[in-house]
Structure 1
Amino acid sequence: MKMIDEHQVKRLKKMGYVFSGIMLLLIGYGLGARGKTNDTPKESTKITTKKTKDPKAISQKQVKNFLIAYYTKKDLEENRNRYKDYMTDPMYQQEKSLEEQPVNQTYKGFVVDYKFKTADIYIDNVNHVALAKVYYTNTLLSEKNNYAKAQKNVSNEATVRLTYQESKGKMLVDKMESILLMSSNQEGSDYPTFGVSAVPKEQQNKGEN
C-alpha cells in the first residue's frame, strides 16, 4: 500500500507541476497580450474644423486681376468689357462718364498700348479697402496710328485706393481714388499710412487715358 501511495503521490506531484506550468504560461501570455494592447497607440478621433472663407474678404489675386484689366488696353475705352466685371454698376457708369469727358477724349489715339507690369498691393479686409501702387507702360504718339516717332514703353506709376462693396454675391470695386502713400510710423507694420491725393482723378487721367 505504501508503494502504491508513494507512486500516486509522485504522479500527483508531476501532474501538479505540469498544471502549474500550464497556468504560468497562460498567465504570462495573458499579461503579454494585455501589455501589447495597452502599448498599441489608440486611434485619436481627429476633429477637423473647416475654416469658413469670409465671403467679404478681398484677395491679392482679386485686386491684381482688376488692375490688369484696368491698366491694360489698346486705347481709351477698349478695355471696358474687361474691367466691367470687377466693378459695381454705379462705379462702371462713373468710369464710362469719366472716359467720355472731352479732356480725356482729346488724348484718345495719342496715348495707347497700355500694359500692366506689376503692383504693390495692401489689403484691409476690415474696411474692405485695397491700396495699390501700380507700375505700367504706354506709348505716346504725335500722330494717330503713326508709330514712326512714337515714344514706346514709357514707364508710369499710379497709386490708388479701391473701396469694395458686396454686389451680385461678390465683392466689387465701388470707389477708385488716387492717393499718396507715405511710410508708416508704426514699427513692424507693412501697411502704409496714406492720404487722399489732392489731384482729382479726371485730371490725373490726362496722361493715362
Structure 2
Amino acid sequence: MQNAKAVELQQLETFQQKYEGDALQKAMRHALNKNAISAIANVETAYPKNKFHFSIDIPTMKVANQQASGRCWLFAGLNVLREIVAKKCHMEQFELSQNYAAFYDKFEKINYFLESVIDLKDRPTDDRTLNWVLKTGVQDGGQWDMLVSVIKKYGVVPQSAMDETYQSSHTRDMNGLINTKLRQYACK
C-alpha cells in the first residue's frame, strides 16, 4: 500500500461536523439508540410477497416464543411434547413451562462446571481442558438428549406453574453474571 494516506485530524473534524449537522443522521442515531439495527435496516417491500398456498394444513398450537434466549432446542422439544399432552387431555391450548426446564438445565450445567473445576483443580493454569471449561462456562444451548435428561430427573410443569420472566427470556446478562460468579469460585 504505497499510496495509502493516514486519516488526519482535520478530516475527522470535517466528518464529525457533517455527521452532526445532518438531520437524517440525527434521526438514525435516535432510532439506533433504542432499536436493533436489523429491525431498522429491514425494508419490508424488498421481500417478495409470500403466497401461503399449501395442499396440507397441519393443525398445531401457536408457537412458543423464546425471545432473546438461546433455548430454541428446549422450546422445540417442549412444543412437540405439549401437542401430545394437549391431545391426550383434550385441550385446545396448552404450554409446558420452558422456564422450569431451562432452570433445571442451567442448574445441571452449573453443577457440571463446578464438578469439572474440582476434578481439574490440580492441573496447571494453562491446561487446555481447564481453560476450555473456564472459557465456556454455562450457556443456553443444548439438544434433545439434554431435554430428555432434565425431564426424566425433574419432570415438566404447565407454564402457569413457572411462567417466563424477563430474565428467562433475555438470558445474555444472566449468563454473564452466572459465569462471572462461577469463575470467581474456580479461582478459590
* Structure with more strand by fraction: 1
Give the alignment's TM-score, normalised by structure 1: 0.22
Larger Rg computed on CA atoms: 1
* Structure with more helix by fraction: 2
Give the alignment's TM-score, normalised by structure 2: 0.23
